[in-house]
Protein backbone atom coordinates (compact mmCIF):
# COMPACT_ATOMS: atom_id res chain seq x y z
CA UNK A 1 0.00 0.00 0.00
CA UNK A 2 1.62 3.27 -1.00
CA UNK A 3 2.07 5.79 1.75
CA UNK A 4 0.37 9.12 1.29
CA UNK A 5 2.56 12.24 1.42
CA UNK A 6 3.64 13.65 4.75
CA UNK A 7 1.62 16.67 5.79
CA UNK A 8 3.83 19.41 7.24
CA UNK A 9 2.24 22.48 8.83
CA UNK A 10 4.09 25.78 8.73
CA UNK A 11 3.25 29.29 9.83
CA UNK A 12 1.91 31.13 6.78
CA UNK A 13 1.70 32.93 4.45
CA UNK A 14 3.30 30.89 1.63
CA UNK A 15 6.99 31.75 1.12
CA UNK A 16 7.36 32.84 4.77
CA UNK A 17 10.57 32.01 6.63
CA UNK A 18 8.64 29.14 8.31
CA UNK A 19 7.78 27.85 4.82
CA UNK A 20 11.43 28.00 3.85
CA UNK A 21 12.45 26.19 7.05
CA UNK A 22 9.84 23.49 6.37
CA UNK A 23 10.96 23.09 2.74
CA UNK A 24 14.62 22.78 3.76
CA UNK A 25 13.93 20.43 6.71
CA UNK A 26 11.86 18.08 4.58
CA UNK A 27 13.79 18.40 1.34
CA UNK A 28 14.56 14.69 1.30
CA UNK A 29 10.95 13.62 1.90
CA UNK A 30 7.76 13.66 -0.15
CA UNK A 31 5.85 16.21 1.83
CA UNK A 32 2.92 18.56 1.36
CA UNK A 33 3.78 21.85 3.07
CA UNK A 34 0.58 23.44 4.36
CA UNK A 35 0.32 27.09 5.53
CA UNK A 36 -1.46 27.81 8.84
CA UNK A 37 -2.61 31.26 9.84
CA UNK A 38 -1.62 31.08 13.51
CA UNK A 39 0.73 29.26 15.87
CA UNK A 40 -2.30 27.70 17.60
CA UNK A 41 -3.66 26.39 14.28
CA UNK A 42 -0.38 24.62 13.55
CA UNK A 43 -0.30 23.03 17.05
CA UNK A 44 -3.95 21.97 16.71
CA UNK A 45 -3.32 20.40 13.29
CA UNK A 46 -0.59 18.19 14.80
CA UNK A 47 -2.71 17.29 17.83
CA UNK A 48 -5.68 16.29 15.61
CA UNK A 49 -3.42 14.33 13.26
CA UNK A 50 -4.25 16.55 10.27
CA UNK A 51 -0.55 17.37 10.08
CA UNK A 52 2.26 14.87 10.65
CA UNK A 53 4.69 17.61 11.59
CA UNK A 54 4.71 21.33 12.26
CA UNK A 55 7.66 23.69 11.79
CA UNK A 56 7.46 26.55 14.32
CA UNK A 57 9.89 29.39 15.14
CA UNK A 58 11.32 29.06 18.67
CA UNK A 59 13.95 31.76 19.00
CA UNK A 60 15.90 34.26 16.98
CA UNK A 61 19.54 35.04 17.63
CA UNK A 62 18.79 38.78 17.73
CA UNK A 63 15.21 39.09 18.99
CA UNK A 64 15.19 36.21 21.49
CA UNK A 65 12.45 33.72 22.32
CA UNK A 66 9.12 33.52 20.51
CA UNK A 67 6.60 33.83 23.33
CA UNK A 68 3.65 32.53 21.28
CA UNK A 69 5.50 29.22 20.88
CA UNK A 70 6.37 29.06 24.60
CA UNK A 71 2.73 29.73 25.52
CA UNK A 72 1.52 26.89 23.29
CA UNK A 73 4.19 24.54 24.64
CA UNK A 74 3.04 25.53 28.16
CA UNK A 75 -0.32 24.02 27.14
CA UNK A 76 -2.12 25.37 30.19
CA UNK A 77 -5.47 23.90 29.07
CA UNK A 78 -4.20 20.46 27.99
CA UNK A 79 -5.08 21.04 24.34
CA UNK A 80 -1.87 19.64 22.84
CA UNK A 81 -0.98 16.75 25.11
CA UNK A 82 0.43 14.56 22.31
CA UNK A 83 2.52 17.28 20.65
CA UNK A 84 6.27 16.94 21.22
CA UNK A 85 9.44 18.35 19.75
CA UNK A 86 11.30 15.85 17.51
CA UNK A 87 13.78 18.09 15.71
CA UNK A 88 15.14 21.55 15.12
CA UNK A 89 16.30 23.57 12.15
CA UNK A 90 18.49 26.68 12.02
CA UNK A 91 17.64 29.12 9.24
CA UNK A 92 19.95 32.06 8.65
CA UNK A 93 17.94 35.09 7.59
CA UNK A 94 19.26 36.50 4.31
CA UNK A 95 17.44 39.35 2.65
CA UNK A 96 17.35 40.33 -1.03
CA UNK A 97 16.14 43.45 -2.76
CA UNK A 98 13.57 41.89 -5.08
CA UNK A 99 11.91 43.51 -8.07
CA UNK A 100 9.57 42.58 -10.93
CA UNK A 101 11.11 39.89 -13.13
CA UNK A 102 12.99 41.29 -16.11
CA UNK A 103 13.50 44.77 -14.70
CA UNK A 104 17.05 46.00 -14.08
CA UNK A 105 18.85 43.30 -16.14
CA UNK A 106 22.17 45.01 -15.48
CA UNK A 107 21.78 44.44 -11.73
CA UNK A 108 22.89 46.76 -8.95
CA UNK A 109 25.97 48.22 -10.74
CA UNK A 110 23.75 49.77 -13.40
CA UNK A 111 20.73 50.53 -11.17
CA UNK A 112 19.33 53.92 -12.23
CA UNK A 113 17.51 54.93 -9.04
CA UNK A 114 14.06 54.54 -10.59
CA UNK A 115 12.41 52.50 -7.77
CA UNK A 116 9.86 54.79 -6.15
CA UNK A 117 8.49 52.62 -3.34
CA UNK A 118 9.78 49.86 -1.07
CA UNK A 119 7.76 47.18 0.75
CA UNK A 120 8.63 44.89 3.62
CA UNK A 121 7.77 43.71 7.13
CA UNK A 122 8.56 46.45 9.70
CA UNK A 123 11.35 44.38 11.28
CA UNK A 124 13.26 44.03 8.01
CA UNK A 125 13.88 47.77 7.52
CA UNK A 126 16.17 47.88 10.53
CA UNK A 127 17.94 44.68 9.47
CA UNK A 128 19.02 46.21 6.13
CA UNK A 129 19.77 49.72 7.29
CA UNK A 130 23.24 50.12 5.75
CA UNK A 131 22.16 48.91 2.29
CA UNK A 132 19.04 51.09 2.31
CA UNK A 133 20.99 54.16 3.40
CA UNK A 134 23.41 53.67 0.53
CA UNK A 135 21.05 52.89 -2.36
CA UNK A 136 17.53 53.89 -1.33
CA UNK A 137 17.86 56.99 0.81
CA UNK A 138 14.58 58.94 0.82
CA UNK A 139 12.58 56.32 -1.11
CA UNK A 140 9.02 55.89 0.22
CA UNK A 141 8.57 52.85 2.48
CA UNK A 142 5.41 50.88 3.09
CA UNK A 143 5.03 48.34 5.87
CA UNK A 144 3.38 45.04 4.90
CA UNK A 145 2.37 42.03 7.00
CA UNK A 146 5.24 39.81 5.81
CA UNK A 147 8.34 39.97 3.64
CA UNK A 148 6.65 37.44 1.36
CA UNK A 149 3.68 39.77 0.89
CA UNK A 150 6.02 42.57 -0.22
CA UNK A 151 7.60 40.29 -2.84
CA UNK A 152 4.14 39.34 -4.09
CA UNK A 153 3.02 42.99 -4.44
CA UNK A 154 6.14 43.88 -6.38
CA UNK A 155 5.81 40.85 -8.66
CA UNK A 156 2.20 41.64 -9.60
CA UNK A 157 2.09 45.43 -9.78
CA UNK A 158 2.99 46.75 -13.24
CA UNK A 159 1.81 50.30 -12.58
CA UNK A 160 4.74 51.33 -10.39
CA UNK A 161 8.41 50.55 -10.07
CA UNK A 162 8.46 48.87 -6.66
CA UNK A 163 11.05 46.99 -4.67
CA UNK A 164 10.71 44.65 -1.72
CA UNK A 165 13.01 43.25 0.95
CA UNK A 166 12.41 39.50 1.02
CA UNK A 167 14.19 36.14 0.99
CA UNK A 168 15.46 34.42 -2.17
CA UNK A 169 12.92 31.70 -1.31
CA UNK A 170 10.06 34.25 -1.47
CA UNK A 171 11.45 35.76 -4.69
CA UNK A 172 11.51 32.35 -6.36
CA UNK A 173 8.04 31.51 -5.05
CA UNK A 174 6.48 34.71 -6.39
CA UNK A 175 8.59 34.88 -9.56
CA UNK A 176 10.49 38.07 -8.73
CA UNK A 177 13.80 39.20 -10.08
CA UNK A 178 16.63 39.87 -7.60
CA UNK A 179 18.47 43.17 -7.73
CA UNK A 180 20.80 42.48 -4.78
CA UNK A 181 21.43 39.60 -2.37
CA UNK A 182 22.57 39.40 1.27
CA UNK A 183 21.70 43.02 1.94
CA UNK A 184 21.32 42.48 5.70
CA UNK A 185 23.60 44.36 8.12
CA UNK A 186 24.35 41.26 10.22
CA UNK A 187 25.08 38.01 8.45
CA UNK A 188 24.46 35.92 11.59
CA UNK A 189 20.77 36.66 12.17
CA UNK A 190 19.44 33.13 12.59
CA UNK A 191 16.08 31.71 13.60
CA UNK A 192 15.81 28.33 15.25
CA UNK A 193 12.68 26.38 14.34
CA UNK A 194 11.33 23.43 16.29
CA UNK A 195 9.83 20.49 14.46
CA UNK A 196 6.80 19.06 16.26
CA UNK A 197 5.09 15.71 15.87
CA UNK A 198 2.23 13.80 17.47
CA UNK A 199 3.69 11.06 19.67
CA UNK A 200 0.59 8.89 19.11
CA UNK A 201 1.05 8.95 15.35
CA UNK A 202 2.47 5.81 13.73
CA UNK A 203 3.30 7.88 10.65
CA UNK A 204 5.95 9.85 12.46
CA UNK A 205 7.60 6.93 14.26
CA UNK A 206 11.18 5.90 13.69
CA UNK A 207 10.50 3.22 11.07
CA UNK A 208 8.43 5.58 9.01
CA UNK A 209 11.18 8.18 9.09
CA UNK A 210 13.70 5.71 7.77
CA UNK A 211 11.50 4.50 4.95
CA UNK A 212 11.23 8.06 3.72
CA UNK A 213 14.86 9.08 4.18
CA UNK A 214 13.89 12.03 6.31
CA UNK A 215 16.89 13.82 7.76
CA UNK A 216 18.23 11.82 10.71
CA UNK A 217 17.50 14.52 13.27
CA UNK A 218 13.79 13.90 12.81
CA UNK A 219 14.05 10.30 13.93
CA UNK A 220 14.05 9.14 17.51
CA UNK A 221 17.36 9.48 19.37
CA UNK A 222 19.90 6.82 18.47
CA UNK A 223 20.26 4.00 21.00
CA UNK A 224 23.28 4.19 23.24
CA UNK A 225 26.35 2.35 21.90
CA UNK A 226 26.58 -1.29 22.95
CA UNK A 227 30.06 -0.95 24.39
CA UNK A 228 32.01 1.91 25.88
CA UNK A 229 34.40 3.81 23.64
CA UNK A 230 38.02 4.25 24.59
CA UNK A 231 38.51 6.51 27.64
CA UNK A 232 38.67 10.16 26.74
CA UNK A 233 36.92 9.61 23.43
CA UNK A 234 33.51 11.20 22.83
CA UNK A 235 30.88 8.52 22.67
CA UNK A 236 28.78 10.24 20.03
CA UNK A 237 29.27 13.25 17.84
CA UNK A 238 25.72 14.44 18.21
CA UNK A 239 24.33 16.05 21.33
CA UNK A 240 20.79 15.10 22.22
CA UNK A 241 18.68 17.97 23.41
CA UNK A 242 15.60 17.66 25.63
CA UNK A 243 13.00 20.28 26.44
CA UNK A 244 11.25 20.03 29.82
CA UNK A 245 8.66 22.38 31.30
CA UNK A 246 7.88 22.58 35.00
CA UNK A 247 6.38 24.83 37.63
CA UNK A 248 7.43 25.07 41.27
CA UNK A 249 6.13 26.49 44.49
CA UNK A 250 7.95 29.80 44.75
CA UNK A 251 7.15 30.28 48.40
CA UNK A 252 9.58 27.46 49.16
CA UNK A 253 13.07 29.03 49.35
CA UNK A 254 15.62 27.53 47.03
CA UNK A 255 13.01 25.51 45.11
CA UNK A 256 14.12 26.76 41.70
CA UNK A 257 17.81 26.23 42.42
CA UNK A 258 16.99 22.70 43.66
CA UNK A 259 15.06 21.95 40.50
CA UNK A 260 17.92 23.13 38.31
CA UNK A 261 20.43 21.14 40.37
CA UNK A 262 18.64 17.98 39.30
CA UNK A 263 19.79 18.52 35.73
CA UNK A 264 23.38 18.96 36.83
CA UNK A 265 23.18 15.86 39.02
CA UNK A 266 22.20 13.84 35.96
CA UNK A 267 25.00 15.30 33.82
CA UNK A 268 22.54 17.27 31.69
CA UNK A 269 23.99 20.58 30.52
CA UNK A 270 21.49 23.43 30.62
CA UNK A 271 21.51 25.15 27.24
CA UNK A 272 18.53 27.49 27.60
CA UNK A 273 15.99 28.66 30.17
CA UNK A 274 12.76 30.48 29.47
CA UNK A 275 9.87 31.46 31.71
CA UNK A 276 6.24 32.38 31.11
CA UNK A 277 3.51 33.34 33.60
CA UNK A 278 1.68 30.28 34.95
CA UNK A 279 -1.68 32.16 34.71
CA UNK A 280 -2.75 30.13 37.76
CA UNK A 281 -1.34 32.57 40.27
CA UNK A 282 0.30 35.93 39.65
CA UNK A 283 4.14 35.85 39.77
CA UNK A 284 4.27 32.09 39.44
CA UNK A 285 6.02 30.85 36.34
CA UNK A 286 6.27 27.93 33.99
CA UNK A 287 9.94 27.22 33.35
CA UNK A 288 11.24 25.77 30.09
CA UNK A 289 14.60 24.15 30.47
CA UNK A 290 16.50 22.82 27.49
CA UNK A 291 19.33 20.47 28.34
CA UNK A 292 21.86 18.53 26.32
CA UNK A 293 23.92 15.39 26.71
CA UNK A 294 26.37 13.37 24.67
CA UNK A 295 24.56 10.01 24.61
CA UNK A 296 26.38 7.20 26.36
CA UNK A 297 25.59 3.97 28.18
CA UNK A 298 26.04 5.79 31.49
CA UNK A 299 23.54 8.55 30.79
CA UNK A 300 20.94 6.76 28.71
CA UNK A 301 18.40 7.09 31.54
CA UNK A 302 19.50 10.58 32.57
CA UNK A 303 16.40 12.34 31.22
CA UNK A 304 14.04 9.80 32.80
CA UNK A 305 15.83 10.11 36.15
CA UNK A 306 15.77 13.90 35.97
CA UNK A 307 12.04 13.85 35.22
CA UNK A 308 11.41 11.53 38.16
CA UNK A 309 13.43 13.72 40.51
CA UNK A 310 11.77 16.87 39.17
CA UNK A 311 8.34 15.42 39.89
CA UNK A 312 9.37 15.25 43.58
CA UNK A 313 10.02 19.02 43.81
CA UNK A 314 7.86 20.50 41.04
CA UNK A 315 4.15 21.23 41.12
CA UNK A 316 3.93 20.03 37.53
CA UNK A 317 6.46 18.73 35.04
CA UNK A 318 6.33 17.69 31.41
CA UNK A 319 8.72 16.07 28.95
CA UNK A 320 8.40 18.04 25.72
CA UNK A 321 10.64 15.79 23.63
CA UNK A 322 14.21 14.88 22.72
CA UNK A 323 15.98 15.46 19.41
CA UNK A 324 19.42 15.69 17.85
CA UNK A 325 21.24 19.01 18.15
CA UNK A 326 21.80 20.60 14.74
CA UNK A 327 24.20 23.25 15.92
CA UNK A 328 26.85 21.08 17.48
CA UNK A 329 29.16 21.85 20.36
CA UNK A 330 32.04 22.78 18.03
CA UNK A 331 29.89 25.29 16.17
CA UNK A 332 28.58 26.74 19.41
CA UNK A 333 32.10 27.66 20.50
CA UNK A 334 33.04 29.14 17.15
CA UNK A 335 29.95 31.19 16.34
Task: Summarize as ranges the residues that interact with a copy of itself (CB under 8 A).
Answer: 60-65, 67, 188, 190, 192, 250-251, 253-254, 256-258, 260-261, 263-264, 267, 269-277, 279, 281-285, 287, 327, 329, 332-333, 335
**Burial bucket for residue 9 (CB in 10 Å: 0-12, 13-18, 19+):** buried
Q: Which is nearer to a copy of itself, 66 or 214 (CB)?
A: 66
**305 CB neighbour count, 10 Å cutoff:** 15
Please, what is the minimum distance in Å from the beta carbon of residue 107 to a copy of itself? 30
Q: Which is nearer to a copy of itself, 197 or 293 (CB)?
A: 293
Please, what is the minimum distance in Å from the beta carbon of residue 195 to a copy of itself? 18
DSSP string for residues in 170-215: HHHHHTEEEEEE---S-TT-EEEEEEEEETT-GGGSHHHHHHHT--
Q: Which is nearer to a copy of itself, 236 or 284 (CB)?
A: 284
Distance CA 272, CA 178 (A): 37
Q: What is the 3-state secondary structure (H, E, C) of 65-113?
A: ECHHHHHHHHCCCCCCCCEEEEEEEEEECCCEEEEECCCCCCCHHHCCC
Q: Which is nearer to a copy of itself, 201 or 258 (CB)?
A: 258
Q: Which is nearer to a copy of itself, 42 or 268 (CB)?
A: 268
Please, what is the minimum distance in Å from the beta carbon of residue 199 to a copy of itself? 27
Q: Which is nearer to a copy of itself, 203 or 305 (CB)?
A: 305
Distance CA 21, CA 191 (A): 9
**Strand pairing partners for 223?**
none
Please, what is the minimum distance in Å from the beta carbon of residue 171 to a copy of itself? 25
Q: Which is nearer to a copy of itself, 233 or 251 (CB)?
A: 251
Please, what is the minimum distance in Å from the beta carbon of residue 34 to a copy of itself? 28
Please, what is the minimum distance in Å from the beta carbon of residue 256 to a copy of itself? 4
Nearest to 195 by CA among 283, 77, 91: 91
Please, what is the minimum distance in Å from the beta carbon of residue 212 to a copy of itself? 30
- First and final C-alpha spacing in the chain: 46
Amino acid sequence: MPLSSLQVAFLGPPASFSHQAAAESFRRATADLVPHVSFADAFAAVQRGDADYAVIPFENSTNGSVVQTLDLLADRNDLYKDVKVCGEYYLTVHHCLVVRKGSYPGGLPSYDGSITKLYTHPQAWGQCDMFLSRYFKGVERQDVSSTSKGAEIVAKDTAEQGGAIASRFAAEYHGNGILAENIEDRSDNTTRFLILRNIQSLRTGEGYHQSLSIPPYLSAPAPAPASDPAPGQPQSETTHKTLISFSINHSSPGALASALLIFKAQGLNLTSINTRPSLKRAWQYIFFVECGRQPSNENKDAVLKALNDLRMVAESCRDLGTWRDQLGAETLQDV
